Chains A and B, each alone.
Chain A
C-alpha cells in the first residue's frame, strides 16, 4: 500500500537529484575511494571505509528521507530512523572498534569488490536505460538502494567473522525495495534485492568457510 505510483517516484528522484547537485560527484568520488581502499587495504583503511559507508546511511537518514521523501510517504520518518541507526552501527562496529580490511584474495573478497562496483553503476544504468531516465538515477550514498548494495558488498571485505549486526537493516530495506518494485513495477527497486542475493550468498559461504 504505497501512497504514490512509479511515475511520481521517478519524478521525485529527478527533483531530488536536481536539489542536491553537486552532491553526486562528491558521493561517487567517496565511493570510488572506498572501493580503492578495499581493493588495496592498509592498516587504517577499515575505519575510513566504515566512515564513508556511515556517511551514506546518515545522509539518507538526515537528508533524503526527511527532507525529500517525507512529502510523499508517511513511512519516511521510520525509514529515516532505521538508516540513522545503521549509520550508528557502522560507526560503532567498523570505526570505533577499528575493524580492519583484509586482502581481497578469496571468492568473498573478489566478489565483494565486483558487487560494490556493480552497486555504483547498475541502478543508474537501469534508470537511464529505462523509463525514468538518468536524471532520476539513484546514486550510492545519496539514495537508499545503491547505498544498501554498496554496503553489503564492502562488508564482505572486513576481517573476522561476518558482521551479522550490520545486516538486518540492509536486509529489511531489501524487503521494502522488493515490495515497492513488485507493487509499482519499478525495475530499480526490484534490482535491489536481486543484486543483494550474491552478497548474501558470499556471507553464507564465508561463515561456512570460517567454521
Chain B
C-alpha cells in the first residue's frame, strides 16, 4: 500500500513547509540547490554522482576517456560529490584518471568507502582507494553495507581526529538492514548516512530520513532510478503537464526532484556512463522543487504507469 509521508518529525515537516519558498527563490536566481552538512555547516549541491557499474571500465582507454567526459559534464554543471567503493572494481582508478585529465577540479567532494571483513585490512584498502583517486585525503569515508561497521568506525573516528578524513558515515542499499542502520545512526556520531530512496522505494521516509534529520546526519541517496528500472518504467509515457510546476521537462529530472525535495536529503547520487545523461541529470540541480502535495501526486502518477 502506498505510504506517502508518514514522518511526524518537526525538523522534516518544517523543511517541507519551507519548500515552496525555496522553489521560488531557486527559480528567481537559477542558483544550484544546495543543502547543509549538519555537522559542519558546509554546503553541498543536491545532485552528486555515483559510480557503481558505470565507471568500472577496466583498462580500456576509449571507455576511460568517455567516463572523463561524464565527469566533465558533471563538474561543468556544478557537481561536486562523487561516490565510489572498493567493491566497484576499477571505478576508483577510472575516477582518478578522469580527475587527472580534467586538471583536478578543486570543487570535488570525494566520497569512498571501506568494504572488508577485517578492521585491520581497512586502512590499507582506504589508502589504495585514495591513491587510485589521486586525492590528498577523502572528504568522506563510509562503511559499505555496514560490513564490520563497529570496527571500521573505530578506525574512521581515529582518522577523522587525525585529519585524514573530514567526514565519516555508513551505507546500505536496496532497502536492506534498515533496523541495524537505525541502531547505528542512533548510537554513533555519524556525519553522513547513505541508503536507497526513490519514488517507488520510500521505506526510508518512515524512520531513516526523520532520524537523520533529528540526529543531524547528512543523507546521501543511492539508487534514485533503481539502477535503470525506474527509467524503463516511465519511458514511453508522456511527462504530465503539471511537472512544469516544478520545472521538470524530462523523466530523470522528475524522479530526481522528487528525491531532493525531501528536506532531510542532502545529495542524491545517480550513476551514468553517458555525458548527455549526466547533463540531463544535472538539470535537476536548479529550479523549483515540488511541495508535499505535488510529491504525493508524483507518487500516484508513477505508480499508475
Contact = CB atoms under 8 A, between A and B. Distances in A.
B63 interface: yes
Contact-size category for A: 10 to 19
A4 B89 contact: yes
Given A3-B53, A4-B53, A5-B273, A11 B89 contact: no
Contacts of B273: 5
A12 B90 CA distance: 12
B122 to A, nearest CB: 16
A8 B87 contact: no
A11 B63 contact: yes
Interface of A: 2-5, 7-8, 11-12, 15, 71-74
Interface in B228-275: 273
Given A4-B89, A72-B90, A15 B53 contact: no
28 contacts: A2-B53, A3-B52, A3-B53, A3-B56, A3-B88, A4-B53, A4-B56, A4-B57, A4-B89, A5-B53, A5-B273, A7-B63, A8-B57, A8-B58, A8-B60, A8-B63, A11-B58, A11-B60, A11-B63, A12-B58, A12-B60, A71-B89, A71-B90, A72-B56, A72-B58, A72-B89, A74-B87, A74-B89
B128 to A, nearest CB: 12
Given A3-B53, A4-B57, A12-B58, 19 more contacts: A2-B53, A3-B56, A4-B53, A4-B56, A5-B53, A5-B54, A5-B273, A8-B56, A8-B57, A11-B57, A11-B60, A15-B58, A15-B59, A15-B60, A71-B59, A71-B89, A72-B56, A72-B90, A73-B89
Interface string B51-76: 01110111110010000000000000
A2 B89 CA distance: 10
Nearest to B87: A74
A5 B58 CA distance: 11
A3 B87 contact: yes
A91 B72 CA distance: 53
Given A3-B88, A8-B63, A71 B53 contact: no
Given A5-B53, A7-B63, A8-B63, A71 B87 contact: no
Interface in B31-62: 52-54, 56-60
A71 B54 CA distance: 14
B224 to A, nearest CB: 17
A75 B138 CA distance: 26
- Top-5 shortest CB links A-B: A11-B60, A72-B89, A12-B58, A3-B89, A4-B56
Contacts of B60: 8, 11-12, 15
Contacts of A3: 52-53, 56, 87-89
A4 B59 CA distance: 13
Contacts of B90: 71-72
Residue from A4, A15, A71, A73 with most neighbouring chain B CB atoms (10 Å): A4
A206 B234 CA distance: 51
Interface in B85-109: 87-90
A74 B90 CA distance: 10
B132 to A, nearest CB: 11
A76 to B, nearest CB: 9
A12 B87 CA distance: 18
A43 B60 CA distance: 47
A72 B87 CA distance: 9
B40 to A, nearest CB: 32
Interface string B129-172: 00000000000000000000000000000000000000000000
Nearest to A16: B58
A3 B63 CA distance: 15
Contacts of B58: 4, 8, 11-12, 15, 71-72
A72 B55 CA distance: 10
B177 to A, nearest CB: 16
Contacts of B88: 3
Contacts of A73: 89
Nearest to B273: A5
A205 to B, nearest CB: 42
Nearest to B227: A1
Contacts of B53: 2-5
A131 to B, nearest CB: 15
Nearest to B115: A74
A167 B60 CA distance: 35
A71 B87 CA distance: 10
